[in-house]
Amino acid sequence: MTIPPPLDVVALTQALLRADSVTPARGSVFDVLEAALTAIGFAVDRFTLGEVPDGPVENLLATRGQDGATGGRHLAFAGHVDVVPPGEGWTTSPWSGTERGGLLYGRGAVDMKGAVAAFIAAAAAETGGALSLIITGDEEGPATYGTVALIERMAARGIAPDWCLVGEPTSTRHLGDMMKIGRRGSVNIWVTVPGRQGHVAYPHLADNPIPKLIAMLAEVEAIVLDTGNRWFQPSNIEVTDIAVGNPAHNVIPAKAEARLSIRFNDEQSGAALIERIRAVAQGHAPDAIVTGRVSGEAFLTEPGALSAAVAAAVEAQTGRVPELSTTGGTSDARFLSRLCPTVEFGLLNATMHKVDEAVAIDDLRMLTAIYADLIRRAAA
């Protein structure tokens, strides 16, 4: 495999885009990363974990400048090179990295191979300070064997960054108009209300679970968890599925099921929300079965030195002052925020997960300049 010069952010992005890396990712996309990073002095640690269905997953931890580094802060850049499936209808192959009209097209162009390439290009230009790259192949999937495993690897090796920047696509209208200083938490909850199957003409011999489930969901829909706060919008509960699976018109079903998704701010916790839904469900159906899975807790990095440094780098390069936000879905920052102050900043998010996902070449070069500016500020 021919690896482009790591200083060329466009060529490096194209090399990453041409590596099919639908989650969980491993192999060739990490070969591209390793070649680029070792060429600019990073020590690269690659490892693979897990089995089907959530794995195998490959991860990469790269470090430079930690031995003998004086002063400054250890800056970590975190990201992922796995992508969602491309879907149908692309103008050109989603793995082509085609350049057209000042744009690079390919799955992962903005989410987030472009940002990974930009940080590597920035690190090639700025050689001072202690840097780490924390790159997973399992962010778009269940994240079972990804960033959490990388954090454990870092702890075992005594790697402790002072700041962490996650390169998710945070910009909305123009590069640099928004950064994320936190994210809401996410929990999915499954509710099963058992009944007793029977003939609809003899309801006294059956137990219909559907009215109980409907009453439970009506109470859930009326819940106001909170009204939000300075940094977070209100938490919200959404019913995302109702299933009975009854093919017959004259049979009372044996069970009814629902699924809920809750996005919550830092006034709530995932475990407490599961218990609250369980109490409501069992108030209507004492034998209801409620299970939940917390994808991540809400987190907030209070505005401080890191967000100020990112904002200063953005303003110096673009003239824009980024808005501090906690909107959007979850990211691996939910794990990394346990290590050190963590913010997210990256490319425009308009085409992420869409057909013909694309990044502007000018934005790639500008993002490289912003990241290089931040590296200088961290090392100062």
* 52 CB-near residues (< 8 Å, 6+ apart): none
CA neighbor of 9 nearest in space, from 135, 134, 126, 122: 122
Give 229's Cβ-side CA count (13 Å radius): 12
| Pairing status of strand 323-325 against strand 178-180 | parallel
d(CA 285, CA 264): 26
What lies within 8 Å, CB to CB, of 204 at 6+ separation is: none
3-state secondary structure of 104: strand
Query: Phi and psi (nearest 5°) for 340?
Result: -170, 170
Is 139 a residue of the active site?
Answer: yes
Clarify whether 126 is annotated catalytic: no
Amino acid residing at 277: I
Report which of 376, 308, 318 is spatially closest to residue 347, judged by C-alpha positions: 318
**Any alpha helices (H) in 222-318, and if so which ranges?**
270-284, 305-318
CA dist 150 and 155 (Å) reads 9
The one-letter amino acid at 100: R
Distance CA 143, CA 235 (A): 23
CA dihedral 136, 138, 144, 147 (to 10 degrees): 20
Cβ proximity of 141 and 52 under 8 Å: no
- Catalytic residue, from 58, 111, 139, 297: name it: 139
Question: Which member of 58, 82, 297, 363 is catalytic?
Answer: 82
For the annotated catalytic residues, the residue numbers are 82, 139
